[in-house]
């Protein structure tokens, strides 16, 4: 046993680490903004315009965050009696890496379109996504978590 007993679920599989949840939360930030805009009724359009000036960028980010929301939901349904969901879970690491790369590409593209104008929010998100990508590629715990061994 590589990790403590608390790191495993009731089926003996390694639980997703807290840093994975944090990275997934960064990737679904468009869903969070969408929910906040829906909850604030009158100021919803202003809130969306503040975080996403371009509607196409917002809708693209919202569409790309749906697989991550699905994997967040799927993490609670890993059971030996559900082989199809286990097969989907095993693909989660590579899908998350692809989503991080696409999100980084979109953010860097927006920096290029703005001619390198410094925006602290974009810089912080690029930095956090870069760290998350390194974590996904190098972490043994992530590899074990998604391999279900």
For tokens 């979109």, what's the residue?
A: 106
Q: Residue 131, Cβ neighbours under 10 Å: how many? A: 14
Among 31-35, 45-49, 93-97, the range scoring the smallest mean pLDDT is 45-49
Q: What is the pTM (predicted TM-score) of this model?
A: 0.87
And the tokens for 127? 């930095």
Over residues 4-16, the mean pLDDT reads 81
Average pLDDT, the chain: 87
Taking alpha carbons only, the member of 120, 122, 102, 99 closest to residue 25 is: 99
Q: What are the domain boundaries of the chain? A: 8-147
pLDDT given for residue 66 in this prediction = 94
pLDDT given for residue 114 in this prediction = 81
Q: In angstroms, rounded to a whole number, what is the distance separating the alpha carbons of residues 35 and 11?
A: 33
List of residues 6+ apart from 85 with CB closer than 8 A: 74, 77, 78, 79
Place 149 in a pLDDT band, splitting at 50, 70 and 90.
low
Give pLDDT tens digits for 39-74: 988 888 888 888 887 788 889 999 999 999 999 998
């Amino acid at each position: 046993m590589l990790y403590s007993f608390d790191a495993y679920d009731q089926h003996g599989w390694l639980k997703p680490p807290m840093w994975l949840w944090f990275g997934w939360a960064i990737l679904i930030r468009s869903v969070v903004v969408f929910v906040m805009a829906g909850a604030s009724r009158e100021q919803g359009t202003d809130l969306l315009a503040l975080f996403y000036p371009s509607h196409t960028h917002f809708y693209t980010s919202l569409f790309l965050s749906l697989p991550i929301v699905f994997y967040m939901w799927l993490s609670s349904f890993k059971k030996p009696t559900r082989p199809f969901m286990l097969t989907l879970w095993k693909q989660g690491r590579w899908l998350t890496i692809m989503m991080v790369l696409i999100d980084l590409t979109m953010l860097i593209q927006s920096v290029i379109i703005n001619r390198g104008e410094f925006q602290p929010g974009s810089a912080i998100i690029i930095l956090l996504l870069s760290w998350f990508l390194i974590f996904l590629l190098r972490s043994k715990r992530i590899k074990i978590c998604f391999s279900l061994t």
